[in-house]
Amino acid sequence: MSQRFKEIDFIGVFLWVFRAVIIVLVIYGTVAKLFLGVGNTYTVETWIDFFVSGLSQGSLYALIALGYTMVYGILFMINFAHGEFFMSGAITSTVLVATYLSASGFMDSQPVVSLLVITAVAITTSISVALLTERIAYRPLRRAPRLVPLITAIGASFFWQYFFRGLFGSALIPFPVPEALQGRWTILGLEFLRTRVVVMATTIVALVSLYLFIQRTKTGKAIRAVAEDKDVAALMGINVDRTVSITFAIGAAMAGVAGVLWGLVFRQVHFYMGFVPGIKAFTAAVFGGIGSIPGAALGGLLLGVIEAVGPPLFLEGLGIAGAHQLKDVIAFTMLVLVLIFRPQGLIGEKLAEKKA
Amino acid sequence: MAQTANFSKAVRLGLIAGIVALSVSAIGMVQTFDVRDIITGVLTLGQLLLFSTALVAGYFSWQKGEGVAPVGAILRGLVAGLLTAVPPIALVFLTIIWPGIRNSFVNVSADLIEILTFGQTPVVGSLMLLVVMGVLGVIGAAFDLLPRRIQKPLFSGLLWTLVIGLLSEILLLILRPYTPRSVLNFLFGAKGITPITAVIVFVLAVGISAWWDAQGKQAMQHRRAEMAPAKAKQLRRLNIGLGVAFVLILPVIMGTYLTEVADIVGTFILMGLGLNIVVGFAGLLDLGYVAFFAIGAYVMGLLTTQGDLGIGGLSFWAALPFSVLAATLAGIILGVPVLRMRGDYLAIVTLGFGEIIRVLVVSDLLKPYIGGAQGILQIGKPQVMGFVFVQPEHYYYLILAGCLLAVFVSWRFRDARIGRRWMALREDEDVAEAMGIRLVSTKLMAFATGAAFSGLAGAIFASRLSSIFPHSFNLLISINVLSLIIVGGLGSLPGVVVGALVLVGLPELLREFAEYRMLLYGALLIVTMLLRPEGLWPSPIRRRELHAAELDHRPDDSEDAKSMA
């Protein structure tokens, strides 16, 4: 017995030291940056710009994170291929629709209609890919040991990446942004990039409608019931397979929307674009509390802001060269820290704790 | 009614197969694989890929026991085959309506259309495709009508012909020094085997397979059962001896190019053995495994390079322990934070670690110390008493020694107390803990051992290439290694070797695969999990678990050592 306690102590101490080092580094970097003037100095406007770009980036993470969180809530599996659902919608709608709309000039004359059409194609593609993946790679293995669906999910992820690479090529594909969305809008005396405003507005609409859908409709109720207990839900006359498919479809639809918005912000798409955002969105989902929809939104926004403000704030404050390169390190470090110290997330339902 | 219901299956399968045929065409596989002949002038790999869809659809279009008459079965095959042809034909006509299709679908080229239409006009070619697919569907359906003792030899005949055809380039490389030119020209075409060779191989394989089923297998089993234990042991020793001798002289047979491929395969075997301990034995899914490979390689690079970044300027042999030690330490350090995680969370966190290390390596932060994107050049080569390892053949023996060491360690660990602890951990962590297994040390031991093998592989890798760049250590390596141990059989030592040969060796040899490697890995992971979760060469325990009914006598571990070939 005493042996066991000793071990826990040792691990506990290690983890505490780990946590303390990170906190000290962050605080030290921030203080050094703000009060000692290490690195570049930025104006208040620049800081706001960092913050807003973080918010818009975070909205995208939030939209993608919904898919992770809903699927995890219902099946307790990490849908590793979710980033690919996002990519498939973005790349397909860009290559097959956006490019042609832009070339014909329709995109600039009718930006709203064009973007709606593009989004519709993106959503359709993402949903098709998601349903196909669920049907082939996940559904037959629902009763298998937990590692098995994770392995097929990894397989599906790489399969789709290279499938779309084969279809549309490995080059970066430019996403045409309509003229109406180029430049900045002035809101409340502050200037915002138009695309960022569109991203945030769309995200808010999507999140609210999703929340209402889950809480108010019969299908939403079925999803919640299946998440609670699959077997009992089945006894209550809910078609579990169908509900799971719907969950995947909703998550994929959100990912499809995120794909188009991603194109608007970064102005290019490619076959590998789903991987890193996928992992970051997963981080966001865990950060907020996996299984919870508001949690995914909150986690996404926070991750986006920390990632945007972190490098200029505490990394530069620590005197690190080329701090902006380490954006991904911040996100992944957060992933590791959250999973170690707070696997149930900010507003999680204690669900992750028992499963993680 | 039942009849129509059965036809709906044929229709569905035909359409699915057609969409698969369309997909492999549209993503460029058919066209890329078309440059490799299997039988010169008769069949290319691309055509095989395309046409096998109809064959498979036909084969599965009906099932024995559904009460289908032979004519009905043939009809179903025909329907499935014809429908398989529909989507590709649609693609052919789409290219006529939409000439700019290639701007969107980069791989839908004139060459592809030429393959699909047999070089004829679209209408004639489409009809030909329809006929060919229909006939193949019928053949597929008819195959199941044959009695089993004919099916099996036919199947192995086809399989062997295809394998020999596919590997003809390699066979040619091996045979060239020993065989007269005229014989080679007779057997091999410009690419692939000649039709005559194909017929010879087919007939031989059919004959041997039929004989084996009829008598050979029984006779062999009979003789084995009759044999005195001492003699059986002797025979086994002889087999091992022959195996070892074969492995030792392999570079001489294979020549430099193939030996280089063997080196790559060996490096992956070494990594696979390491990851096999972590994932296969202890059940801890680690996706950041490449980090330890990178650490091993970078430590070797920094300690032995003659460039500006060098520290110490050690020799290969002096640096090797440091490489392995650094990787082991990293394994423990990265292992501690994740001790309390399970399953999928563990996978994601290790993935995060791997990505952190990758980003750090290319960043400006560490550039002054480890060279950033420019990597490290002029890494030292091993020397033994003045003899410098330069050729792939030299490294072959080094890697072989590493692999043998890893196999030995894995094998001894597996059957030792620690191995049983790992397996208990894999089966159920809570129960294992309740049984008095100390999770901390058991898990850390798995991470450390796995990382050590990977570090060793990395060190040899760095020295073999004599320069390393950060982009060689990406996530795809981790996925590669994971795929090969899963496809080979989790927890199985020969499985690692088989997996590496198939998943790493084949794509290296058949360069057309390179572009579709990850696609095929992804598909293979899914298919393996769906159809054969125990892998190609499962460990005896898993096989027994999964097929408890069949009593199967597998010779024990000597088999593991032998299969290192």
Q: Measure the CA–CA gap between B40 and B35, rounded to whole angstroms.
A: 11
Q: What is the mean pLDDT of residues B290-309?
A: 89
Could you report the per-residue pLDDT of B528-561, keeping only the tens digit for each?
999 888 888 887 776 666 655 444 444 444 444 4
Burial of B109 (0-12, 13-18, 19+ CB in 10 A): middle
Give residue B180's pLDDT band: very low, low, confident or very high (50, 70, 90): confident
In A, minimum Cα distance to B479 occurs at A154
Q: Are A288 and A345 in contact (CB under 8 A)?
A: yes
pLDDT the model gives residue A340: 79
Q: Considering only CA atoms, which of A22, A123, A50, A73 is closest in space to residue A295?
A: A73
**Alpha helices in chain A, H assignment, sequence order:** 2-31, 44-75, 82-93, 99-103, 106-109, 111-133, 147-168, 194-216, 218-228, 230-235, 240-266, 275-288, 293-310, 316-317, 327-341, 351-355
Q: Measure the CA–CA gap between B358 and B290, rounded to whole angstroms.
A: 9
B262's tokens? 């063997």
| Cβ-based neighbours of B276, under 8 Å, separated by 6 or more | B410, B450, B485, B490, B491, B492, B493, B495, B496
* List of chain A residues whose C-beta atoms are within 8 Å of the C-beta of residue B515: 166
Of B20 and B228, the one with more pLDDT: B20
CB contact under 8 A, B283 and A167: no
How many Å lie between the alpha carbon of B355 and the closest alpha carbon of chain A? 7
Of B117 and B510, the one with more pLDDT: B117
pTM for this entry: 0.89
**Whether residue A201 has pLDDT greater than 70:** yes
* List of chain A residues whose C-beta atoms are within 8 Å of the C-beta of residue B108: none
* List of chain B residues whose C-beta atoms are within 8 Å of the C-beta of residue A163: 23, 27, 519
CA distances from B416 to B207, B431, B543 (A): 45, 20, 20
Q: Is A107 on the interface with B (CB under 8 A)?
A: no
Mean pLDDT of chain B: 86
Tell me which residue in A15, A77, A158 faces B344 most closely, judged by beta carbons. A77
Lowest-pLDDT range, A66-80, B53-67, B255-269, B433-447? B53-67
Could you report the per-residue pLDDT of B459-494, keeping only the tens digit for each?
999 999 988 988 888 888 998 999 999 999 888 899
pLDDT the model gives residue B565: 36
What is the β-pairing status of strands A173-174 and A268-269?
A: antiparallel
The ipTM estimated for the assembled molecules is 0.88
Of A328 and B559, the one with more pLDDT: A328
Q: Is B471 on the interface with A (CB under 8 A)?
A: no
Lowest-pLDDT range, A14-23, A107-116, B10-19? A14-23
Q: Are A177 and A111 in contact (CB under 8 A)?
A: no
**Whether residue A89 has pLDDT greater than 90:** yes
| Cβ-based neighbours of B213, under 8 Å, separated by 6 or more | B149, B152, B153
Could you report the per-residue pLDDT of B392-434, keeping only the tens digit for each?
888 999 999 999 999 999 999 998 999 999 999 988 888 998 9
The conformation of residue B27, written as its DSSP 8-state character, comes to: T
pLDDT the model gives residue A77: 86
Q: Is the dihedral of CA B195, B196, B199, B204 positive or negative?
A: negative
Lowest-pLDDT range, A81-95, A212-226, A314-328, B354-368? A314-328
CB contact under 8 A, B525 and A154: yes
Q: Measure the CA–CA gap between A34 and A86, rounded to whole angstroms.
A: 38
pLDDT the model gives residue B533: 83
**Whether residue A48 has pLDDT greater than 60:** yes
Tell me which residue in B285, B337, B356 faces A147 most closely, judged by beta carbons. B285
Q: Is B423 on the interface with A (CB under 8 A)?
A: no
CB contact under 8 A, A163 and B23: yes
Q: Considering only CA atoms, which of A306, A302, A53, A301 is closest in space to residue A193?
A: A53
Tell me which residue in B103, B105, B522 faces A159 most closely, judged by beta carbons. B522
Residues 533-562 of B with CB under 8 A from A: 533
Of B314 and A205, the one with more pLDDT: A205
pLDDT the model gives residue A290: 84
pLDDT the model gives residue B184: 84
Tell me which residue in A136, A325, A328 faces B526 most closely, judged by beta carbons. A136
Determine what percent of chain B is predicted with pLDDT higher than 70.
Answer: 94
Q: Are A223 and A238 in contact (CB under 8 A)?
A: no
pLDDT the model gives residue A8: 59
**Whether residue A9 has pLDDT greater than 80:** no
pLDDT the model gives residue A273: 92
Tell me which residue in A148, A157, A328 faces B529 most closely, judged by beta carbons. A148
Q: What is the mean pLDDT of residues A105-113?
A: 87
CB contact under 8 A, B356 and A160: no
Choose from B50-54, B223-227, B360-364, B425-429 the range with maximum mean pLDDT: B50-54
Q: Measure the CA–CA gap between B307 and B49, rounded to whole angstroms.
A: 48
Determine what percent of chain B is predicted with pLDDT higher than 90.
Answer: 33
Q: Considering only CA atoms, which of A120, A80, A57 is closest in space to residue A299?
A: A57
pLDDT the model gives residue A7: 55
Q: Are A195 and A266 in contact (CB under 8 A)?
A: no
Q: Measure the CA–CA gap between B73 and B67, rounded to whole angstroms.
A: 10
Q: Are A339 and B341 in contact (CB under 8 A)?
A: yes
Lowest-pLDDT range, B81-90, B120-129, B302-311? B302-311
Give residue A164's pLDDT band: very low, low, confident or very high (50, 70, 90): very high
Domain-by-domain residue ranges, chain A? Answer: 39-355
Q: Are A74 and A244 in contact (CB under 8 A)?
A: yes
Lowest-pLDDT range, A269-273, A312-316, B35-39, B153-157? A312-316
Q: In CATH terms, is domain A39-355 a member of 1.10.3470?
A: yes
Q: Measure the CA–CA gap between B530 and B548, rounded to whole angstroms.
A: 19
pLDDT the model gives residue A354: 43
Q: Considering only CA atoms, which of A167, A170, A45, A177 is closest in space to residue A108?
A: A177
Q: Is B491 on the interface with A (CB under 8 A)?
A: no
